[in-house]
Amino acid sequence: MQTVDVDAIVRAVANWALRREDIRAMALVGSWARGNPHQGSDVDLLLLSDRADEYRHRQKWLAEIDLESAGFGIASSEDESYGVVWSFHIALVPSGKAELTFAPFSWARAGEVDAGTLHIVKDAFHIIFDKDEILTKLVAAVISE
């Protein structure tokens, strides 16, 4: 996947997420945020919501994301749990992958950072939007450690 494709996917997800009152922040993580993606790298996006579990049980929200304007369709999808967060892995057509990870606000509480969260934030973390500065405070807390 090329940078222009990644930018289009991020923009499509951000445009959808910004319209959702419950989604308070979004960040790009992983190899694309780090700047060293390889041929098979997926676009890893973290979405912070007080209703993260609802997205897992009602997946019609995926059709609300205008991936078509980014030049992509959805070939398949599956979800996976990672403790308090869960991810939706999406195979895109003509080619590419995205992983949308939904996390509750508690995941980002600066005073309660677990080892997994610490690793993600220190490794590669680029805030796309942060309506309440929750992720900004998390990053500041991690940097000060």
How much is the average pLDDT of 104-117?
Answer: 81
Domain chopping of the chain, boundaries: 3-144
User: pLDDT grade, residue 49 (50/70/90)?
Assistant: very high
pTM comes to 0.92
DSSP 88-138: EEEEEESS-EEEEEEE-GGGG-GGG--HHHHHHHHH-EEEEEETTSHHHHH
Give me the CATH code for the 3-144 domain, please: 3.30.460.10
Segment 52-102, tens digit of pLDDT: 888 888 878 999 999 999 999 999 999 998 888 899 999 999 989 999 999
What CA–CA distance (Å, rounded) separates 101 from 61?
14
Residues in CB range of 22: below 8 A, 6 or more apart: 49, 50, 51
Query: By the 8 A CB rule, do 27 and 125 touch?
Result: yes
* Per-residue model confidence (pLDDT) at position 145: 67
